[in-house]
Amino acid sequence: MPHPVMFDETDPLLARVRDLALALPGTTEKISHGRPFFSTRTAFAVYGGSEKDTRAPFPRSLIVKPDEEERRALLEERHTYLPMYFGPSGWVGYDLARPQVDWDEVSELLDMSFRMTAPARLVRELDDRHS
């Protein structure tokens, strides 16, 4: 039995995340477990999730895999959460359904997560774009 769709295709926050994520080299999007996953060889971002301990839903959020130092700092922020399933593997949820989202930070988190999971050749391609 397939998972139900757990996002709104017309969501402007998803559109913004999509633009940022799909601009990274070799990135594709697929729907898995009812949510948009952004991947190269493996996933580096997921749109929407739930908090691990409380199961509180965060349908308009971004789940990313930052480095450990950034992860610890992020989890001190009020707009982040430890996501179900992903949290124990180092991922963090970032709530987008709030006023004043810092889209530069979102872009940086996508970049970091991409670099943590993408093949070396795609990271080099990204670096070449910035030089």
Cα end-to-end span (Å), the chain: 47
On whether residue 107 sits in a domain, the answer given is yes
User: Residue 61 is encoded by which pair of tokens?
Assistant: 């959020």
pLDDT at 1: 67
Is residue 127 in some structural domain?
Answer: no
Length of the chain in terms of residues written: 131
Question: Which pLDDT tens digits describe the chain residue by residue (131 residues)?
Answer: 678 898 999 999 999 999 999 999 999 999 999 999 999 999 999 999 999 889 999 999 999 999 999 999 999 999 999 999 999 999 999 999 999 999 999 999 999 999 999 999 999 999 999 77
Confirm whether 5 is domain-assigned.
no
Domain membership flag for residue 40: yes
Look at residues 57, 3, 52, 1 and name the one whose alpha carbon lies nearest to residue 30.
Answer: 3
What's the confidence (pLDDT) of residue 8?
94
What pLDDT is stored for residue 24 in this prediction?
A: 98
Contact 37/17 with Cβ under 8 angstroms? no
**Do residues 63 and 17 make contact, with C-beta atoms less than 8 angstroms apart?**
no
Q: Which of 79, 61, 63 is nearest to 7 (CA)?
A: 61
The reply to whether the predicted model has a pTM over 0.85 is yes
Q: Which domain holds residue 35?
A: 12-122
Amino acid at 51: E
| 62 within 8 A of 97, measured Cβ to Cβ | no
Q: Which residue in 14, 6, 61 sits closest to 33, CA to CA?
A: 6
Count of domains forming the chain:
1
The CATH number covering residue 71 comes to: 3.90.1150.30
Q: Residue 29 pairs with which residues in a beta bridge? A: 38
Instruction: Specify if 4 maps to a domain.
Output: no
Identify the pLDDT of residue 20: 98
Within a domain: 2: no
